[in-house]
Amino acid sequence: MDYAATLLSKLPGTSPRRSRDIKALVETLESYMPAELIERVMKAYEFGAIAHEGQTRKSGEPYISHPVAVAQTLADMHLDSQTIVAAILHDVVEDTDVPIAELEDQFGTEVATLVDAVSKLDQMHFTNRAEAHAESFRKMMLAMIEDIRVILVKLADRMHNMETLGAMPREKQARIARETLEIYAPIANRLGINHMKVALEDLGFRYLYPYRYAVLQRALKKSKGSQRQIVKRISESILKAMEEEGITGEVRGREKHLYSIYRKMAGKKRILNDVVDVYGFRIIVDDVNTCYRVLGIVHGLYKPMPGRFKDYIAIPRVNGYQSLHTTLFGPKGLPLEAQIRTTDMDRVAESGVAAHWQYKAIDKSTATPQRRARDWLARLEEIQRTGTSEEFLESVKVDLFPDKIYVFTPKGDIMPMPKGATIVDFAYAVHTDVGNRCVAGKVDRTLVPLRTVLKNSQTVEIVTARGAKPNPNWVSFVATAKARSAIRQYMKNMRTTESVDLGKRLLDRSLKDLGSSLRKIGKVRLREALDELDLVGATDLYAQLGLGERLAPLTARFLIGEKGEQTEPKSASLVIAGTEGMVVSYAKCCYPIPGDEVMGYLSAGRGVVIHRNSCGNLINFRKQPEKWLSVGWEEDIDRDFSSQIQVETVNKTGVLAEVAAVIADSQSNIEEVSVNIRHQDTSAMTFLLQVKDRTHLAHIMRNVRKMQNVKSVSRDSA
């Protein structure tokens, strides 16, 4: 049945171009879709053409040409009828008066949901461009998590927009091209859709760097004639060698796309001729065993380059891509790149997750690229729950530009990780709980520090401990989005819990100073106060007090009203144990330790900062007495604190090592050391140490003072 002719007869005045586009779409659909579903697609086209009637694009073409082009791209990937219908209707809700409810009545809930998800990505308003970029990206990722077909429609939409970008102003061209290279092409790559990735990269390159693109394109055109002959000759020699071994297959000369040539030139600082003269071949055979046989054949024909073989069949790439890669010395020493794969692998390499619809497996969930994409999307869902949109964008960009290594678990399972990944990244890749409780790692059965950077093919084991917690410093060296996000979330939760606990203690202490307590205040008065302060619950009030955003003495007076002014204050100190974590910190100007006389200063957003009473900075803070707290140490504190000493020594070789050895013998770790030569005979050394308390520090200073080459020892005080 000629669907296109029937449909076009209903729409008089259709241009020859539109007629061609519709006929091409129908022909593609007929190759894999039953008649009743094609009728449904045609119904969608008729609906869309009427809805967009009178609308044109910047290029002057009728608007409906854009949705048809998007549908054609997806039909070439053999996507299902709902996706094709959604592609044709994807701009109807946004650009016409048609409500989403009408689409649902006409084409069903599934199509309406897809159209709504695609439309919502373009309907957001933000206070600044950075926020808009990050938030729209986040929305796109979330829509993709719900239904991966949303992003396939969005990628096809972006591809056609890029093909027609010439009608836009130059500034807009550059902005859209940069976004395409930074976001859309990497997503296509991450989902394994190679042909889309290549098209988006070349179009993005063309509009972002038009001059560089034109120069490369001219140079490539010049070299193509001679290249064609060389490619033909090499292809024939490979095919002949395969036939002699009784192997049937296909050999294709692979053209390099412009953006990959440009990236190689920029990344490896190589001239154009060095990059262009690399010849690529794709060899496609029936099964995996034959792939390895063909590898032997090409290595027999041409010598392989040492260290340039990669087996992505045994260890697939993170997006499901599988192939054997080898680089060879061809005729006259020309470098040849060969990719050897099966027909199924080639289909997956080009279509990625879309191959899931193309060749329906009995169990769709077993399709490798589909499963890997789902795993990635599940990780995205976990990451997006934390932090701002900008943090989410920054985190996911790490995943979108993966330069991968492959390491093994102790059981031999393969774990793909980005280059630069550490033991902590691996721990979080195994499971968030494993990351949160990790204390050490073993690489090839040898204990290593947590910040150790992993290398290809290492076996990694994580050592965990009950009660262990993530260290905030891990964020400075982890390489994966999941690890960074999980650490930040844990710290955020821990900070909230600690600030609530500290705030409650501060308020109770201030109330006791005024002869009252939280119990005496009662729930009714507390609720009234919370309403007056516009707070939801008591935990919000405690958190603000703990973080120093609200002052406990003033809040206590507010809670008890006039009675507080008449009550005789009692002295009560906040007792600290050194384990309060993120809401009690120790000033680096004076390094207070247990045994010192100390005061607490309420710093907005940081909680309580502890200073020694002798600290020079007290003078600066005296103007705000309401922010000072009386603080005391708990007895028998069991943890290390940082402290600083200054040692004046004779200026001799080896003195630093001698002093360091004495400090180590006194059961202390040195965190930092700096040396200043005051004049020819004397050196001043400053040590930042880990000590238990004032007694421990005095013991260290006594031992250092006894040394022959030491002139004086003092505790550094601001």
- CB–CB of 523/584 below 8 Å? no
404-408/324-329 β-pairing: unpaired
**Residue of 39, 46, 76, 94 marked active site:** 94
- Identify how many contiguous H helices and E strands the chain contains and give both numbers: 31, 20
Spatial distance between the Cα atoms of 371 and 352, rounded to a whole number of angstroms: 11
**Residue of 39, 61, 76, 95 marked active site:** 95
Spatial distance between the Cα atoms of 541 and 606, rounded to a whole number of angstroms: 16
Buried b (16+ CB within 10 A) or exposed e, 407-442: bbeeeeeebbbbeebbbbbbbbbbebeebbbbebbb
- Read off the DSSP letter of residue 471: -
Closest by Cα among 130, 123, 48, 135 to 85: 48
598-603/574-576 β-pairing: unpaired
- CB–CB of 126/132 below 8 Å? yes
Extended strands (E) in 169-308: 250-254, 279-285, 303-304
498 catalytic? Reply is no
Spatial distance between the Cα atoms of 603 and 609, rounded to a whole number of angstroms: 7
Assigned token pair, 154: 């969005």
95 catalytic? Reply is yes
- CB–CB of 485/434 below 8 Å? no
Spatial distance between the Cα atoms of 173 and 203, rounded to a whole number of angstroms: 10
Spatial distance between the Cα atoms of 104 and 117, rounded to a whole number of angstroms: 13
- CB–CB of 21/68 below 8 Å? yes
Spatial distance between the Cα atoms of 716 and 406, rounded to a whole number of angstroms: 49
628-633/574-576 β-pairing: parallel
Spatial distance between the Cα atoms of 177 and 204, rounded to a whole number of angstroms: 4
- Read off the DSSP letter of residue 56: B
- CB–CB of 583/499 below 8 Å? yes
Ramachandran angles phi, psi of 713, nearest 5°: -135, 130
Spatial distance between the Cα atoms of 498 and 594, rounded to a whole number of angstroms: 21
- Roughly what angle, to the nearest 10 degrees, separates helices 3-10 and 35-51? 20
Which helix (H) or strand (E) element contains residue 488? Answer: helix 481-513
> Environment class of residue 95 by beta-carbon count within 10 Å: exposed (0-12), middle (13-18) or buried (19+)?
middle
- CB–CB of 509/572 below 8 Å? yes
- CB–CB of 442/466 below 8 Å? no
Which of the residues are catalytic? 94-95
